[in-house]
Structure 1
Amino acid sequence: MSSVVRLSLVSHAATDALRLVRFPIDESLNEVGRRECRKAARMAAARIVTAPELRTIQTAEALGLLGATTDSALADVDHGSWRGLSMQDLPPDDVATWLSDPTFAGHGGESIVDVIERVRTWLDRVADTETETIAVTHPAVVRAAVIVTLDAPPDAFWRMDIAPLCITRLHHRGAWTLRSTSFGPEPH
């Protein structure tokens, strides 16, 4: 019988871009995000990784997840020319297409399908580690991991809300299984 690989995906804490519904740049946590991290329970794992963006690194540090390494496979969606803009700044037809067509990359960045495939490759690597991992990343990466785990269609991506500091636990024993999703890191 194969060993169980445990993976906890933690969505980064709040930023001003989240609050303003703006496509992110490499912004830091806002005061609400820092305060929520201080209130959260501590977690531990043999392996800790973060996405390369400042907000994920700061979230890991604020949660006491020291010694993390960064992994570019956990990066947020590349929004291309939309970085830093709000949805109101964009042509409504482009926004509607982006929200309904997971292959859309008209902004010059990644499509949702691209993100799902990037995360699928990363999950395959994690499955081979045979160790417990905590990954601090982005809501889009968590959504993509759930899509892969449930073998759901890419258009299901937008039917999930992943809040700041949401934790999604996956287990792998031959295949990934969604174990639980909860708000805020809990004792592990």
Structure 2
Amino acid sequence: MTATSLRLVAHAHTAALRRAVFGAGDDDLDEGGRQAALALVGPGRHATLGRVDVCLTSPSPAAVQTAYAIGLRPTVEAALADCDYAGWAGRSLADVGAREPEALRQWWGTPEAAPHGGESLAALRDRVGGWLDDQLAPGVRIAAVTHPMVVRVAIVHALRLPMAALPRLDVAPLAVVRLSRHGSRWQLQFTAPQVGSGSERRPPG
């Protein structure tokens, strides 16, 4: 059986992301983020992703701009939107931690909690996991450009990890997570670069 191939791509840096702001993807890419994304493109094809048949992206400016910068033509997919942080949107992690330390601990420690008044991590997992389970396109190579938190919950869902593992997953800007689906099971892939395709060029950082 031909597998479904999925590449999850975290959007490039914005000024807000560098400051660890909730909802950082609502900003445009900063110049460093844009240049880093452009540097991933190899001659004649995408240096990191290989062949891409379909590109989907979060509705956010940062995700859409990242997709275009790496040479893809995306279709917006609402299920790939960032978590709704409601009252924390636009605030930094440091600020929330200083002003609402118990609320922040509750948010990380209790997946069903939404102390900011928006979407809980459990609800985010359900939304992203439902989308992931609907990706049934054997032989089609899909790239999904989205947010670091969305990539994290997708990994948790795909590998059937407990939500307690979520804080231990660190997804950097422009990170690429490769998943393949065989039947009802997702597998995490670790692939070697293809010599001569441009993939031997290391991304910044």
Q: Above 0.5 in TM-score? A: yes
- For the pair 1:99 / 2:108, whether they are aligned, the reply is yes
| Residue 46 (structure 1) aligns with | 53
Count of equivalent residues: 181
Report runs of 4+ in structure 1 exceeding 6 Å deviation: none
Change (3 A) 1:58 1:157: same
Change (3 A) 1:181 1:99: farther
Q: What amino acid sits opposite 1:134 in the alignment? A: A
Deviations 1:90-139 (A, max 9, x none): 3111112112222111111111111111111111111x222210000111
Q: What amino acid sits opposite 2:4 in the alignment? A: V
Q: What amino acid sits opposite 1:145 in the alignment? A: A
Task: Choose the corresponding residue for 1:134, options 137, 143, 152.
Answer: 143
| Residue 168 (structure 1) aligns with | 177
| Residue 187 (structure 2) aligns with | 177
In 1, the alpha carbon distance for the partners of 2:191 and 2:143 equals: 14
Deviations 1:125-154 (A, max 9, x none): 11x222210000111111111111211001
| Residue 117 (structure 2) aligns with | 108
- For the pair 1:61 / 2:71, whether they are aligned, the reply is no
Change (3 A) 1:69 1:117: same
Q: Which structure's CA Rg is the greater one?
A: 2
Task: Choose the corresponding residue for 2:127, options 118, 125, 136.
Answer: 118
Unpaired segments ≥5 residues, structure 2:
193-197, 200-205
More deviation in 12-21 or 161-170? 12-21
- For the pair 1:155 / 2:164, whether they are aligned, the reply is yes
- For the pair 1:73 / 2:79, whether they are aligned, the reply is yes
Change (3 A) 1:72 1:18: same
Report the identity percentage.
39
Q: What amino acid sits opposite 1:109 in the alignment? A: G
More deviation in 78-87 or 55-64? 78-87
| Residue 33 (structure 2) aligns with | 33
Per the TM alignment, residue 30 of structure 1 is displaced from its structure 2 partner at its CA by 0.8
Q: Normalising by structure 2, what TM-score? A: 0.83
Change (3 A) 1:181 1:95: farther
Q: What amino acid sits opposite 1:152 in the alignment? A: L
| Residue 7 (structure 2) aligns with | 8
Unpaired segments ≥5 residues, structure 1:
none
1:166–1:181 contact (8 Å) kept in structure 2: no
Change (3 A) 1:78 1:47: same
Q: What amino acid sits opposite 1:28 in the alignment? A: D
